[in-house]
Amino acid sequence: MKTLNERSRGCLIGGAIGDALGWPVEFMSLDEIKRKYGPQGIKNLVKGRSNLVEITDDTQMTIFTAEGILRAENRGRNRGIVHIPAVIHRSYLRWLDTQGVGSDVEKDGWIHTIEGLHTRRAPGNTCLDALTSGKMGSMEEPLNNSKGCGGVMRTAPVGLVYKKQESFKLGCESAAITHGHPSGYLSAGILSFIVAAILEGLDLETAVEQSLEELKLYPSSKECSDIIEKAITLAKSETPDIQAIKSLGEGWIGEEALAISIYCALKYQTDFEKAVITAVNHNGDSDSTGAITGNILGAYLGINGIPQNWVSEVELSKELTQLADDLAKTYENNDEWHQKYPGW
């Protein structure tokens, strides 16, 4: 039986590894990837210009989602009332500040002090535009009609703290801060639900099937449910991976990125390495599909199910481990905790 800490570490670090594996090939076609890295595509973590196995904005924003959750929990337990999405929004404004965009948000807490986060790693324009708008998007009052994968790529931490149904709703709300199309935020709800279901002890197939049942309770969900059902069917088939992923899309939009990731996780659910390698070797948004696949299988297999050399090599591994352990605790009533995750 895997511990909560093992699953939490696996989820965050697994996502970072998938992100880092896909980052060098994000804007390359599969043919270009094979020409550069060989017929099997990219299979190993590659150091970037900074001599680090670099994460991207996907992992950066996942970290700030986690920070927002922990700050919201602190506020709720000490003040008795909290609107969790609003606290997460303020954490996203802190991420915006790390990207060199001025923000009048508080710069306290330990996450903002992590030097490695203060670097731009191709942040999505939708996220930047939404967060600089001076408004907070919601499902009821969307800022735009974007269904880019910038919502789903960052919401796995929700499932590490909250139960399934609550995770689905909060995952949607967290993504809707920046992405207003239903497929942009419902895909995030599904990811959060799947992670929560894994932590509750469900097998991967059941977690995905139950997420679909929850999805269908929400309006405008057919687009997401159709493509996820297709991913489930493909994972059970003999269809070659390249053909299966191509039929699901390129992953630039939320429901496609999630469907590709679900396909890879279901197809290779006992083999983290094979799953994330499959998830990044295609024509589309390789770092996001790698990150989401890594989140899911990392939670499912736990940190010990991930190649140890990858765990130690990926950027911010130590900080991600600390954050994962804090998510497993969720709250501590002491001064150190209040300084790390101030309740506002």
* pLDDT tens digits, 51-82: 899 999 999 999 999 999 999 999 999 999 99
Q: So what's the pLDDT on residue 48?
A: 87
**Digit-coded pLDDT (tens) for 294-317:** 999 999 999 999 999 999 999 999
Tokens of 238: 């003999």
CA 245-178-318 angle, 5° bins: 75
Q: Note the pLDDT tens digit of each residue in 165-181.
A: 999 999 999 999 999 99
Q: What is the DSSP letter of 283?
A: S
Give the tens place of pLDDT for each residue, 179-188: 999 999 999 9
CA distance 267 to 18: 16
Q: Which distant-in-sequence residues (6+ apart) come within 8 Å of 107 by Cβ? A: 94, 97
**Residue 50 predicted with pLDDT over 90:** no
CB 25 within 8 A of CB 289: no
Are 232 and 262 a contacting pair, CB within 8 Å? yes
pLDDT at residue 199 in the model: 98
Q: Percentage of residues in the chain with pLDDT exceeding 90?
A: 97
Share of the chain above pLDDT 70, in %: 100
Nearest-angstrom CA–CA distance, 69 and 309 = 29
Residue 278, classified by CB atoms within 10 Å of its CB into exposed (0-12), middle (13-18) or buried (19+), is buried
Q: How far apart are CA 4 and CA 27, in angstroms?
A: 35
- What is the per-residue pLDDT for 279? 98
CB-CB contact of 98 with 58 (8 Å): no
Convert 103-139 to b/e letters by CB count within 10 Å (16 or more is b). Answer: bebeeebebbeeeebebebebbebbbebbeeeebbbb
Q: Three-state DSSP class for 314?
A: strand
Partnered with residue 53 across adjacent β-strands are 314
pTM as predicted: 0.98
Q: What is the pLDDT of residue 243?
A: 98
Is residue 1 scored above 90 in pLDDT?
no
Closest alpha carbon to 167 in 97, 233, 263, 69: 69
Domains of the chain plus CATH, in order, are 4-332 (1.10.4080.10)
pLDDT of residue 49: 80
Residue 163 is given by DSSP the state -
Reported residue count of the chain is 344
Q: Which residues contact 77 (CB under 8 A, 6 or more apart)?
A: 331, 333, 343
